Chains A and B, each alone.
Chain A
Amino acid sequence: MKLDLSLTVNGEAISARVEPRMHLVDFLREVLDLTGSHAGCEHGVCGACSILVNGEMVRGCLMLAVQAEGAEVWTVEGLTESGAIAALQEAFVARNALQCGYCTPGMLVAAATLLKANPSPTREEIREGISGNYCRCTGYHAIVDAIEEVSRA
C-alpha cells in the first residue's frame, strides 16, 4: 500500500507516493536523494538525522514521511543553499568542529536551533543545547567553540 504525500522540501514542492511505514529520513535520502541527512541509530538517540520541519528541529528517524504531509522541511542541503547556516558552517570548518562529518548536518541544525532560541548562550548552555546530538570524533570541545564564536559575531 502506498499513500500520496505532498510537502515542501528545501523550498521545492514535492509530490510522491510512499509506503506509510517509510521514515522521513529514509524518504529524504532514498526517494529525494538528499543524502546529507544521516541515519545514525534509527531510534531517536544520536541526532544525526536532525532536520527542520515547520521550523522545529525533529528526528527524521522518529517521524514517518506521511506525517510530513503539507509540511515545510529543510535539510542541510537547502539550509546550505539558502545561506541560513553559513556562519555556522564557516566556523565549523575554521575551528575543525567536525572530523568524520557524519554527525555534522544534524549538529548544524541543532546549533542553529539553539542560537535561534538563545542568541547568546554560555558554554554550558551550548553544551546542553547540543546534548541531543552525538559526536564520536571531536569530544565536542571544538563544536562548542565554533558555536560560541558564531554567537559572539
Chain B
Amino acid sequence: MAYSDKVIDHYSNPRNVGTLDKAKTNVGTGLVGAPECGDVMRLQIEVDENQVITDAKFKTFGCGSAIASSSLATEWLKGKTVDEALAIDNMDIVEELALPPVKIHCSVLAEDAIKSAINDYRVKNGLPALELASSHH
C-alpha cells in the first residue's frame, strides 16, 4: 500500500514533536491507544486566558499514518479556540491525508487524543469532562 504525499511529508518532517509541562494548569494532555494495538498517541495543548490554543505538541508510537494524523492535528489545533478544536472530526483528517480505509483508525485515535487533551485541560480548570463520542469504534 502506498502512502499519500501528505502522509509522507508529515512522517518525514513531523510538526510539533515534543513535550509540554503536564503539571501546568493551562496544559491539557491526552494519551490514547495502547502499545498492544501498535498505536499510542500523546497530544498536548497549551491554552491561554482567552481559551485559545497557543501551542500543541505530540509524540506518537505507531505507523506512518498515525504519526501523520497526530502531526496534522497539532498543526490544526494551534490558534483555534478550545471549542473550535472540539469540532475537529476524524473524517477531516482522513480527507486531508487521503488515508485508506484500513488507516481510518489512526484518524479516530487523533480525534480521541484531541478530545482527551481538552478534557484534561477542562478538569484541571474545574470544568466537567465532556463525554467522548466513541461512535467510531
Q: Do A and B come from one complex?
A: no
**Residues of A with Cβ closer than 8 Å to B?**
none
